[in-house]
């Protein structure tokens, strides 16, 4: 078995040591070099040709973002960011994902050594996912790329008020969701989103999307009426569910046990949409590792929802969509760039008065 070659870049000797121990404890990966700063890392990358680089977001000598930007331009490769659990750390991490980092893990606030060891399984899984990621050249911003392609128009306010778009994603999903939402018109149906992301980062994620999109994007607080032109993102500490109160759709936040090792879980959101919205829902499953969301999407289909899955070529990691497609949960499979138009086209075509459930 060929092992995944990993280079660790972090200014903390303790983090470098613990990360090395975690990686080398796995049978399918090994650390081929460690670096205290990007300048040393640059030479290590040339010498060892790693499969995955783990990179601290805040680095001496050269800012981690500057290094990442140069790396993705000159020598694109899978990068896993290691971020601090701070507001600044989360903002930098969101920017790193925009620049092409595949994913990120967080440093624990207290007892770094024991905390990192508890993360062994998570870190190993993320390195495996990163090693399989498709690293593509950076393209035009979605707003620019989509500007020349007129999107279908929704026929009436009824489409927006009674239909819903339900989205699930994981690895690579932050950028996929950004691309999708930036093409949504201000009168689109309400959107609920479950993206695998730790607590503290969904706030920055929602704020960033809100500044870029025509629609309003918020981190869900629960008990909100789901409104047209609004997107609600599951907070990193809780499951997000769709419920009904009379004629209104409502959000619900729940801190029950993780599902498929995730909280928020896509399956939880999709299952709630199947129960609360039925034929009024359109499901979208985007890039991500694992199978979270596949069974929930099948339940949506069985309840009458119409579902889309991102295709393999445009995914960073073709895990979650593949599982949904394999069990017959998706009606259509398409590239990320085509999905907004297809979803809006379906809503425009089937957007008369929706059947109540």
Report which of 347, 311, 350 is spatially closest to residue 330, judged by C-alpha positions.
311
- For range 57-86, the mean pLDDT: 86
- Judge whether 170 counts as a catalytic residue: yes
Give catalytic status of residue 196 as yes or no.
Answer: yes
Cα distances (angstroms) measured from residue 156 to each of 149, 160, 278: 21, 7, 20
In the numeric block, which tokens belong to residue 199?
């607590």
Q: Which pLDDT score is estimated for 75?
A: 92
Q: Please state the rounded mean pLDDT for residues 226-232.
A: 96
The token duo for 90 is: 């989360």
Confidence of residue 153 (pLDDT cuts 50, 70, 90): low
Enumerate the H helices of the chain as residue ranges.
13-24, 38-48, 64-74, 87-99, 112-118, 120-131, 142-145, 157-162, 173-181, 201-212, 266-276, 294-302, 320-326, 339-349
- 233-250 pLDDT tens trace: 999 999 999 999 988 999
Other CB atoms within a 10 A radius of the CB of residue 26 amount to 18
Q: 330: closest CA among 304, 308, 346, 313? A: 308
Q: Which listed residue (131, 160, 196, 238) is catalytic?
A: 196
Q: Is 140 a residue whose pLDDT tops 60?
A: no
Query: What CA–CA distance (Å, rounded) separates 163 from 29?
Result: 46
Q: Is 70 exceeded by the pLDDT of residue 298?
A: yes
Of the candidates 70, 62, 87, the one whose C-alpha atom is nearest the C-alpha of residue 9 is: 62
pTM: 0.90
d(CA 143, CA 157): 24
Beta-ladder partners of 310: 334
Report in angstroms the alpha-carbon separations of 50 from 73, 84, 131, 147, 317.
17, 24, 10, 38, 19
Tokens matching residue 286: 């985007």
Pairwise CA distance, residues 90 & 199, whole Å: 10
Residue 15: pLDDT band (50, 70, 90) is confident
230 is a catalytic site residue = no
Contact between residue 263 and residue 187 where contact means Cβ atoms under 8 Å apart: no
**Alpha-carbon dihedral 333, 336, 341, 343, rounded to 10 degrees:** 50
Q: Exactly one of 84, 170, 220, 314 is catalytic; which is it? A: 170
350 within 8 A of 342, measured Cβ to Cβ? no
* C-alpha Rg value of the chain to the nearest Å: 20
User: Exactly one of 56, 267, 292, 311 is catalytic; which is it?
Assistant: 292
**pLDDT given for residue 117 in this prediction:** 63
pLDDT at 148: 44
Which residues make Cβ contacts (< 8 Å) with residue 17, sequence separation at least 6?
none
- The residue among 330, 230, 319, 231 whose CA lies nearest residue 282 is 330
State pLDDT tens for residues 315-335.
Answer: 999 999 999 999 999 999 999
Decide: helix, strand or coil at residue 301. Answer: helix
């Amino acid at each position: 078995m060929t092992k995944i070659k990993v280079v660790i870049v972090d200014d903390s000797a303790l983090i470098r040591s613990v990360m090395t121990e975690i990686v080398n404890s796995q049978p399918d990966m090994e650390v081929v070099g460690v670096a205290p700063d990007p300048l040393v890392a640059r030479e290590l990358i040339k010498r060892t040709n790693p499969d995955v680089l783990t990179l601290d977001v805040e680095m001496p000598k050269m800012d981690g973002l500057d290094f990442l930007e140069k790396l993705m331009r000159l020598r694109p490769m899978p990068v896993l960011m290691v971020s601090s659990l701070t507001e600044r750390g989360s903002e930098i991490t969101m920017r790193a994902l925009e620049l092409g980092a595949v994913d990120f893990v967080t440093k624990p606030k207290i007892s770094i050594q024991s905390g990192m060891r508890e993360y062994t399984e998570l870190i190993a899984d993320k390195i495996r996912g990163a090693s399989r990621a498709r690293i593509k050249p950076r393209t035009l911003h979605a707003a620019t790329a989509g500007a020349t392609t007129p999107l279908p128009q929704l026929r009436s306010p009824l489409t927006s008020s009674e239909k819903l778009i339900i989205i699930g994603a994981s690895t690579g999903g932050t950028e996929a969701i950004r691309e999708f939402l930036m093409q949504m018109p201000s009168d689109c149906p309400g959107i609920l989103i479950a993206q695998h992301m730790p607590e503290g980062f969904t706030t920055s994620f929602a704020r960033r999307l809100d500044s870029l999109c025509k629609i309003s994007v918020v981190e869900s607080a629960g008990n909100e009426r789901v409104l047209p032109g609004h997107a609600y993102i599951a907070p990193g500490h809780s499951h997000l569910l769709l419920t009904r109160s009379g004629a209104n759709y409502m959000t619900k936040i729940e801190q029950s046990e993780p599902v498929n090792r995730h909280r928020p879980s896509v399956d939880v959101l999709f299952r709630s949409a199947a129960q609360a919205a039925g034929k009024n829902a359109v499901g979208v499953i985007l890039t991500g590792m694992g199978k979270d969301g596949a069974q929930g999407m099948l339940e949506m289909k069985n309840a009458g929802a119409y579902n889309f899955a991102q295709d393999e070529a445009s995914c960073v990691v073709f895990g979650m969509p593949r599982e949904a497609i394999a069990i017959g949960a998706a009606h259509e499979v398409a590239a990320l760039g085509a999905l907004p138009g297809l979803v809006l086209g379906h809503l425009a075509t089937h957007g008369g008065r929706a059947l109540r459930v």
